[in-house]
Structure 1
Amino acid sequence: MRKLTRARCRNLWSSVAMLIGITVPASHIAFAQSAPPATNVGHGAKIADGGRGVPLAPDQKMELALKITQPFTVVAVGDLLEFQPFAMTNDPRTAGLVKRMREADITVGDFENEIYDFDNFGHAGGNLATKEVADDWVRMGIDIVSRANNKPTRAPGIWENFRQVERVGITHVGVARSLPEARMARYVATPKGLVGEIGVSADGGLDACCSGGQIVIVTPAQLEAVRAIRDSILSRRSEVEVPVADPVPEPAGSLSVFGVTFRLPGVDAPAPKATGAEAVYREVPPGPQDAYKNSLHVTLYQGVTAAQMATLREIARDSGHGDLHAFGTRFRIMDQPGEHSFDMNPADLKDILVQVRTAKQASDLLILNAHWHQNRYDFQAYSHDHFPADFEIAFAHAAVDQGVDVFVAQGVHTIKGVEIYHGKPIFYGVSNFVFQSALMPQGKGKLPPVPGRAETGEAGPAPQLAAGAEAAPEVPQDGIVGEHERQGFWQLKANLEALLVESVFNEGRLKEVRLHPIDLGQTPRPGSQVGVPRIPEMKVAKKILDEVVEYSKPFGTHIVIENGVGIIRL
């Protein structure tokens, strides 16, 4: 190959220029003949500024702080148990709430129903909502929803749910195709900064008095001692708003408590079944196409007195001390019988907090949505507590310590208190924002089999009725009864009130919290309107806010009520 000398390059360039019709000035040709060859030798040894633009180890106090300095409002609402749209209403009681949601910088809620396109998706399910409900959420201004709750993560339905909210531009968090992805935050960009959210579901520990289970043979004296323990728990039912129902009758010589059936020798009868909530929400391993949920697993400890613990140790033939693990149940000495204590799974807790910290480093404002149903008491009906369990406080504090700016929870279908912790709001329970319980469809079609469960064809257990709850009316055998005539076990007044909460930030810190009470049916309504959120009349608003004030007292939260709104000023 001939060497490309400078003269040959000059001749080639002249030839190319002639071919394409370019006239090359003689001065350019002369410059090309005299210019030295380009070289980088001797350059780059000097750097204008050798310092780092970003430190190798950034200041974590700054990284975990709120980074949005402009005025910024976060609106959070609770469970979205919506089955038919309503947000386009001209009723000012509902339109006023929708207006607040739309005007916020970011609005979040909990994805509690099943949204399907019935014309193009044939899967069965429960809590079924038409696809237009997703469009309704957009009308409300909802930006992010958490699916980390006690609703199914089974395929193919879960992916249809996500297709519908993605179709309308809503971001979903808390459930994904792998556990690491489910634990991660997802983000929404706003004009004022990047907002992240993580969704977490507290799973386990739903047992309540007085379910049965493993059969344990005892002596007559031990059976009477266990009966005294159970009766000491049931004697406290008057302490709570919605207590458990009376125990299921059992044959002589048999007694169930703590999910254990204690029996005298020779008694032959089936043990009472587990409580409805524990059975319905029992976890099963996901199948290959199923989704994974960001779960914080908790272990329930049944509280007993020291004397009662001695009785249980004798039956278990355990000579140890401290907590007792026996009969498939865990016991812990507490001040009074019937208390609940929960331990968080340490691996879950660490993984979640790592992702919380990571998400805050990557975002300007971070929200955590928690979904929990655990009660503090064994004598309290499922999902009716107004105060957080011990682990809920510990988890909320740990999340804020790792960078969460707004912690909002729901699940329990009642209102809980508000805490301001290190300048950040913790809403322990905002209840249901939409609760169309009188429209809740019954399950339709045949569901796919659940891995690890036999197909018996039997309906699952119904949630445990609270003490004094009304059973469905008797219907003639040949009577025609609509599905919604038998609904209503969640229609206590405590279940038909909620909060829309506004967290107002400015100059990088929380300035004010506004608690807007919501009436979901405090006074009689037609079934088609039950659970549609409305601004309550002043008398009802004061009642709801007075309750929030009471529930917030353990945290020292100062709430003033002005014009039907609860205000926390910092």
Structure 2
Amino acid sequence: MTTHLPDQDKPGYDLTGSTATSVSDGFTMVAVGDLIVSRPLTKGRHPGLGPVVKILREGDATLGNLETSIFDIRSFKGNPQAEFGGAYHASLPSLGPDLKEMGFDILSFANNHALDWGVEGMRETCRVLDENDIVHAGSGENLAQAAAARFLETSRGRVGLVSCATTFTPQSRAAHPAAEAPGRPGINALRLTRQIVVSPEMLENLRRVRNALPGFKLSNESTDQVILAETTYKVGRKPGFSFIPNSTDVADILRNIRRGKQYSDFCVIANHGHEPGNWSQEPANYEQAFARSAIDAGADVYVAHGPHQLRGIEIYKNRPIFYSLGNFIIDDLRTPMGADMFDAYGKDPRIHTDAEVTAAEMTQGYETNPGFSDPVFYESVITISRFDGNKLAQLRLLPVELGHSKRLAQRGVPSLASPPKAESILSRLQRLSKPFGTDFAIENGVGLIRL
């Protein structure tokens, strides 16, 4: 039998692994922020959620970042880990079908909470998502699985998703097999080396401290840096933090983006990172170059999650880069909770409740996390990117608020923002986007970019 291939001279015929975008006109990508959610919401009493769900369902592909584990504590075989991502997030199994009901069909799952409950929690979460036909990427039984693109079939084209994280617990990083050693389950990590930038005077003081410590031996050290207590300090114009991404991790992620695009019509890269800290409305200094490299490799949308508040938007080569979409759901009725978290906030499980620990975390935070007392952590946007001619034609930004002033049991569920709040959210996002050369109109409480 003879196999007849299409005419290779005709335009559009390709056997070279093209990374061209190929979706039907009108394709819409809906992307939102972190999903910190512990229970199903669509059947509950949440005024304002209905119109939000309607918007989510209208996208050809709707993406969020799942920042919880899904399991039934009554039959769960795992346990809370000694290393956890700042809180133990746990959700009921009924969350799986509820996320599908909300309209989510594609989720990133590489983040600092993916292994709060160990490998067992990660596996159980992935099982629930698979049962509900929700495509997810970023975790797996080894690094190859965690790093690979996963695919969603839509009527306007096939969508690939690659998910990675720069903020993660050390034990959660997936690894390849090596010789007889098997691979390690976990997430697709992008390792960063953090350096602290100081003035010349500060550096000299640090050098004196370092030189006075026992066990120090003078080496051929650069004059513009000091290594003290395993931290590198270097001279710069303004004190702050500088991050250097691991070149091997970057190359692997870009290759997986390229591969994901070669096997799909449209590709998304999701990156979860808190750097330089949740206090910052600006992305870490490595991220713009990394995001642009991802677009160059074939990604059509770059979505960052992690710092729990909005950061700016950039349009690069007719592709949107969202440097943080903040929180979309922070319905964190956190139970069960590991004993370590009671200790972290000075609580006693024989006296205090899980809710009182959650309240302490929300208000006082930890290290560089300011907690969630500021209303800014309860304000976000739904982004709707429409593509025509395989390029971004329009970007709409719909402001949402999560009920900062409500009591714990009702707080954290999104509703469309009131007109004054919508104006405030979009004005802030305008200001944060201007350094990236992005400006957008505000029309009837909606941010709008037309290309």
TM value normalised by structure 2: 0.84
Relative to 1, partners in 2 of residues 1:342 and 1:55: Cα closer, same or farther, differing over 3 Å?
A: same
Aligned to 1:238: none
Q: What is the CA distance between 1:358 and its match in structure 2?
A: 1.3
Relative to 1, partners in 2 of residues 1:459 and 1:548: Cα closer, same or farther, differing over 3 Å?
A: closer
Q: What is the CA distance between 1:120 and its match in structure 2?
A: 3.7
Matches within 5 A, 1:46-445: 58=16, 63-88=18-43, 93-125=48-80, 126-153=88-115, 154-203=118-167, 281-283=169-171, 291-314=185-208, 315-316=210-211, 317=218, 320-337=222-239, 339-375=240-276, 382-437=277-332, 439-444=333-338
Task: Confirm or deny that 1:566 pairs with 2:435.
Answer: no
d(CA) in 2 for partners of 1:503, 1:420: 11
Q: Secondary structure at the match of 1:66?
A: coil
Contact map agreement 2:172 2:187 (CA 8 A) in 1: no
Contact map agreement 1:88 1:139 (CA 8 A) in 2: no
Rg larger in 1 or in 2? 1
Relative to 1, partners in 2 of residues 1:56 and 1:423: Cα closer, same or farther, differing over 3 Å?
A: closer
Aligned to 1:504: 386
Paired letter, 2:48: R
Deviations 1:275-328 (A, max 9, x none): xxxxxx344677979622111100001001123333434544455334443431
Contact map agreement 2:32 2:381 (CA 8 A) in 1: yes
Let me know the Cα RMSD of the aligned residues. 3.0
d(CA) in 2 for partners of 1:460, 1:200: 29
Could you list the runs of 5+ residues in structure 2 that have no partner in the other structure?
81-87, 176-181, 212-217, 364-371
Q: What is the CA distance between 1:72 and its match in structure 2?
A: 0.5
Relative to 1, partners in 2 of residues 1:86 and 1:51: Cα closer, same or farther, differing over 3 Å?
A: closer
Contact map agreement 2:330 2:411 (CA 8 A) in 1: yes
Aligned to 1:484: 355
* Length, aligned pairs only: 415
Aligned to 1:4: none
Aligned to 1:462: 344
d(CA) in 2 for partners of 1:49, 1:303: 58
Deviations 1:503-539 (A, max 9, x none): 11112110111111111124x2122110001111111
Contact map agreement 1:109 1:146 (CA 8 A) in 2: yes
Aligned to 2:369: none
Paired letter, 2:288: I
Aligned to 2:84: none
TM value normalised by structure 1: 0.67
Contact map agreement 2:394 2:448 (CA 8 A) in 1: yes
d(CA) in 1 for partners of 2:191, 2:97: 33
Relative to 1, partners in 2 of residues 1:326 and 1:508: Cα closer, same or farther, differing over 3 Å?
A: same
Q: Secondary structure at the match of 2:119?
A: coil
Relative to 1, partners in 2 of residues 1:328 and 1:170: Cα closer, same or farther, differing over 3 Å?
A: same
Paired letter, 1:134: G
d(CA) in 2 for partners of 1:383, 1:140: 27
d(CA) in 1 for partners of 2:343, 2:283: 26
Q: Percent identity?
A: 31
Aligned to 2:83: none
Q: Secondary structure at the match of 1:295?
A: coil
Aligned to 2:415: 534
Deviations 1:479-525 (A, max 9, x none): x7543134133232121112211111112110111111111124x21
Aligned to 1:544: 425
Contact map agreement 2:77 2:120 (CA 8 A) in 1: no
Deviations 1:198-242 (A, max 9, x none): 0010147xxxxxxxxxxxxxxxxxxxxxxxxxxxxxxxxxxxxxx
Q: Secondary structure at the match of 2:144?
A: helix
Contact map agreement 2:174 2:189 (CA 8 A) in 1: no
Relative to 1, partners in 2 of residues 1:137 and 1:48: Cα closer, same or farther, differing over 3 Å?
A: closer
d(CA) in 2 for partners of 1:97, 1:403: 30
Contact map agreement 1:417 1:551 (CA 8 A) in 2: yes
d(CA) in 2 for partners of 1:174, 1:285: 11
Deviations 1:138-182 (A, max 9, x none): 111111111110014322221111111111111110111111121
